Structure 1
């Protein structure tokens, strides 16, 4: 199912909402490439350029940003499980 979408998860070190999403993914055996805006300046710039804001977690689905941990988890439950 993930193969049907180009996915990329933007996170930040120490962000509790990012940890919530990461824990859900790990618990359900879902692997999504991650970019940490704390350590990757290019990722941070891309997040702002494409998403319009520096907010994490942000899941890019085929290039479109999805914010809010609960929304990301709901999307993953519906599309990746």
Structure 2
């Protein structure tokens, strides 16, 4: 099974766009969520692994995907039945 982890900030409108899609299709149990505002170590890990502090960032088996539209398209094609 593919490991999915979404890095986000509560105040980010693009993150909220991704969350609306996730909630619409009840996908919360398929994704691990990491709020980079809550823990500086998570922000550091995002920068170290992904190379940027940009959110939202969906890690797919530890490979980063940025851009909310790309993330939604990935989720639609891989998780929505």
> If the TM-score is normalised by the length of the shorter chain, which range does it land in?
over 0.9
Over aligned residue pairs, what C-alpha RMSD do you find? 0.6
Pick from 18, 25, 43: which aligns with 2:15? 18
Secondary structure of the residue aligned to 1:59 is: strand
The count of aligned residue pairs is: 78
In the superposition, the TM-score normalised over structure 2's length comes to 0.93
Structure 1: tracts of 5 or more residues without a match: none
Q: Determine the C-alpha separation between the residues in 2 that align with 1:80 and 1:24.
A: 11
Structure 2: tracts of 5 or more residues without a match: none
In the superposition, the TM-score normalised over structure 1's length comes to 0.93
* Structure 1 position 45, deviation (Å): 0.4
Q: Determine the C-alpha separation between the residues in 1 that align with 2:34 and 2:6.
A: 6
Structure 1 moving runs of 4+ over 4 Å: none
Partner of 1:27: 24
